[in-house]
Structure 1
Amino acid sequence: MIGRVLAFVVAIVMAGPTPPSSAEEHPASSRSVRGVVELFTSQGCSSCPPADRILGRLAKDPEIVALSYHVDYWNYIGWSDPLATRANTDRQRAYSRALGTGTIYTPQVVVNGQRDVVGSREDEIRKALDETALTERKTNVSVDLTVHGDRLHISADGVPPSTTGKPPVLMLITYDEKVETVVDKGENKGLTLYSVHAVRDWRILGMWDGKTLSVDIPVSSMQGANGRKGGCAAVLQSVTAAGAPGPILAAAAIDF
């Protein structure tokens, strides 16, 4: 199964609109998002810096949700990536099963949960975005994010597509806007590396059955350490019968 169950307190309301609030600000919607690009990378991999730069360029496009997952299986080669987590590696392994790639590697990009592309091949990434564009699908599914004072409101709504798999899941991914790291060991020794939208945590908020799914989360619980700027993405993703991640249905991102 992709992800982990939400570990801190949230309020889930299965139906009904959010009450109006004078503090409402920073809305974001999936309606204008055509693609999600998930890069699996490592500071211990000499082939990854070019892919990191490509993701940084993609992240500037408001129609793309760009996420950088640092994996931990390079940590034994001289340099332990401070951004790497086992959960990120688990997500990449789940994609390997779903896409039938038979292996995991860096830098790897998964586009819209459907295409596996070498992360340093920008032309192929953009082609995959065009060919799997979320905005071109007639799914009538949406995800919306709004900050109300000190809380983030996330909602998923629409008509689920027909599927033989499990119910889609609503995921929350938190990230740091940009992280600078001076690497003094391993394959990238002597380099200063920059990671944009570096994933800190990802988790499943709930399964979606077509009814309005709403979640409220304290903004303070998603802010980065050491005063780093960051944000989060909400991703509604289909799930295969085997419990692996399927095509992404809708996504939206918001910065704090």
Structure 2
Amino acid sequence: MNPRITSHKKIETARRAPLDARGVSRVLRVLRREAPSWNAPIVGFIAVQHRDPFRTLISCILSLRTKDATTAAASLRLFEKAHTPEAILALSAKTLERLIYPVGFYRTKARVIRGICRDLIDKFDGRVPDEIDALLTLKGVGRKTANLVVTEAYGKPGICVDTHVHRISNRWGLVRTKTPDKTEIALRAVLPARHWLEYNGILVAFGQTICNPTSPWCSRCKIAAVCPRIGVVHSR
């Protein structure tokens, strides 16, 4: 049996060449066809459903270190009660905490969300900005969140890099970086701009279902024949 696809057996075959811009275009074409059979990332789903930058921003804050199902339930509870900065600030701190519980670090996130709402009102007349640099002025908003709002809610160029995008981009050899922020900068230089908007959504779903952090499902992967599998020790 091929050791590359045997459950929990060590990868022993010669490595394939890293993917370049042309190679990543080919694999994205394959993954795009496969994506409907995967679980969609919850924040992207909310953005598509509402096209509301504020809901996208707050959902992303809630999603950090939290499972998708928990984020979905908390987002729906919150937005049923309040879906504008003014409405959220009208809630008591305890009510906000209760609505978003049990997302990870829910008390801290409640404080962050209230701070973001105040900044949006004070700095941007209650509107979520559509520029990354402006979003980064909001306390608690990092590059991942800023890029996601710009791309998912506004449809503007950007590359949202989370742990899945960081891991898979390095696993493909498209970049060689140590942190998601550095991966974003590196991808801007090598990833064709036409793929920027779809890259996060495809890779997050791919990383959640097939290209797992440890022991990825290479036997189920439609791009296994060309993937260099950099850093992969065991696969299924």
* Alignment TM-score, normalising by the size of structure 1: 0.24
* Alignment TM-score, normalising by the size of structure 2: 0.25
Higher fraction of helix: 2
